Amino acid sequence: MALSLDPELEVLLQPLMAASAELEPPAIGDIATRRERIRPLFQLLADLQAPVSGVDVARHTLTTADGAELDLAWYFPDAGLSGSAVLYLHGGGMIHGLAETAPGYDALVRAYVAASGVPMLVVDYRVAPEHPDPTPVEDCYAALRWLADNATELAVNPARIAVAGDSAGGGLAAGVSLLARDRGGPALAAQLLIYPMLDDRTTTPDPELPAEVLTWNYDDNITGWGALLGDGEPSVYAAPARAEDLSGLPPTYLDVGDLDIFRDENIAYAARLSAAGVPTELHVHPGCPHAWEALAPTAAVSKRVVADRIRRLRAI
């Protein structure tokens, strides 16, 4: 039996799939067209999120080792702090920054903070191809260091800091976890990897995945990895699936849909984490494409996966 969309998702995603089918797919390497098209999509994702209250935002600036100034947004509940904190890294295929995706991620992070009570730091890390590897992961690691260094002022217990992210942000979260381990800190209490982009070798189409449901397809993946890596040899921090040693990493939560091109690399990474002695929770959701819960937040399977993420956030 071939894989197919969850029936409820099929109904909810039909307008989006129909609109997408009318567009000429951008060529591999065409980043300008992808950036132009992603803006209205992330505004739509913001509009789909239910409004939340009780979350404030403080703005900060981080100066990196190479002199760049990165914007930081500290989202926190106005009803009091939990003592834990999360560095949340946004997605975007390594080529989309907050310049294109900010409305969607502002709504998403507010929702996570309101539901979990856990504050989150969001960094506007630099993206490829203007800023290839290692800049994106180094920017994210610098944000982790900033969070740890300012823990006292932020009322955060430094032993209760986690890193999380979705898609490219999930891959960067995995890379930051490896960097934190290999550089001796900051210590991480957990990593939450949401359908993470981990492996630059995912380039051959899977015949079991219907092309029309791929919200992030193989041409997109080749484009994103190509922009990040160019002709260079990928480091394990840019492509964590290439890391041979996964021991010593923090307890991990990972979820992915079975209609996501990242499915196999995510399952393999979770299995290797477990084999390396890392406590690992893996969820593979049948009938779900990449970013399904953001595109169809009212679906039962979307509510289930968000509830699992909130449960793990509250446990940090």
Set 82, 167, 177, 302: catalytic member: 167
Q: Where are the alpha helices (DSSP H) in the chain?
A: 7-21, 31-48, 98-116, 135-149, 168-182, 218-229, 263-275, 292-295, 300-314
**Dist CA 154 CA 220 (whole Å):** 38
Which residues share a beta bridge with 161?
Answer: 85
167 is annotated as an active-site residue: yes
Question: Token digits for 60?
Answer: 């900060």
159-173 CB burial, b ≥16 within 10 A, e <16: ebbbbbbbbbbbbbb
Q: Which residue type sits at 15? A: P
Question: Token digits for 154?
Answer: 């932020």
Max Cα distance, the chain (Å): 55
| Closest to 175 measured CA to CA, from 138, 223, 142 | 138
Pairing of strands 120-123, 55-63: unpaired
- DSSP helix/strand/coil, 194: strand
Pairing of strands 69-77, 55-63: antiparallel
Q: How many CA atoms lie within 13 A of 25 on its CB side?
A: 15
Question: Token digits for 272?
Answer: 């290797």
Known catalytic residues?
167
